[in-house]
Amino acid sequence: MDLVHLHLVLTHFPIAGTIFALTLIVLSMIINREDLLVSAMLILVLSAALAIPLYLTGEAAEDAIEHLAGVSEHFLELHEDAAELSFFLLEGLGIFAAVGLGFHLSKVGTHSLFPKALLLGTLIVTGSIAWTSNLGGKIRHSEIRGNTANQQTKPVPSPKHDDSSSLRHSLVLQLRLYLLPGILCVVHSRPVFYCPPAKRHG
């Protein structure tokens, strides 16, 4: 199995994993089953782990198909940009789930808002990965490109001068700067690090 084949095989796991985890989180909140929430966290951690080789093999997959007939350079670039953002979002969610899982296994417990925060994060990541997968399908399948089917086979300008690319890198940087403090604030039952001090009443 070469890197291109590996990329195509792995690409199904993150979207399936996040959808399954999202379902378990919703069910755990409806019927108050903590074991379902734990299962969802395990699935998210596994999905984040599988996303690493998926992301690393993306460049090899691009090199293998970019010169083939019928390949859309436009959607190839869009897919690459979306994949980078989705990767960092999923890794952040995986870390968040792993920290929550650690607190659960150590019997320390998590903040009461943790399930809701996990649900929101999973919704965002699932949407991002679904959009990334949709763009990936349009690279070779002209029948799903809609009205833009005929404009995508020409090379696109260098991303060095692309404002959307700069915005994407800025967003990724902000995620890295604030992700860990945010995780610690939500997961821990008391404010830590960047969390504002708790107000005392009376």
Q: Which positions ≥6 away from 163 have C-beta within 8 Å?
A: none
Checking if the pLDDT of 3 tops 50, the result is yes
Can you give the C-alpha Rg of the chain in angstroms? 20
Whether 10 is covered by a domain: the verdict is yes
Tokens of 8: 């195509």
| 86-132 pLDDT tens trace | 999 999 999 999 999 998 888 777 778 899 999 999 999 999 998 88
How far is it, in rounded angstroms, from Cα 64 to Cα 83? 17
Q: Are 198 and 191 in contact (CB under 8 A)?
A: yes
Tokens of 143: 């029948």
45 closest CA partner among 8, 88, 75, 90? 90
User: Residue type at 106?
Assistant: S
Whether 202 is covered by a domain: the verdict is no
* Residue range of the domain that includes 7: 3-187
Q: Are 140 and 65 in contact (CB under 8 A)?
A: yes
Choice between 121 and 169, residue whose per-residue pLDDT is larger: 121
Whether 174 is covered by a domain: the verdict is yes
Entry pTM: 0.68
Choice between 35 and 194, residue whose per-residue pLDDT is larger: 35
Whether 200 is covered by a domain: the verdict is no
How far is it, in rounded angstroms, from Cα 15 to Cα 116? 20
Largest CA distance in the chain: 73
Whether 95 is covered by a domain: the verdict is yes
Q: Are 152 and 74 in contact (CB under 8 A)?
A: yes
Choice between 15 and 176, residue whose per-residue pLDDT is larger: 15
Whether 196 is covered by a domain: the verdict is no
Tokens of 144: 């799903």
Whether 164 is covered by a domain: the verdict is yes
Q: Which residues of 62-79 are buried (b: 16+ CB within 10 A; e: fewer)?
A: beeeeeeeebbebbbbbb
Q: Are 23 and 44 in contact (CB under 8 A)?
A: no
Number of domains in the chain: 1
| 35-91 pLDDT tens trace | 999 999 999 999 999 999 888 887 777 776 667 666 667 777 787 888 889 999 999
Whether 201 is covered by a domain: the verdict is no
Choice between 18 and 139, residue whose per-residue pLDDT is larger: 18
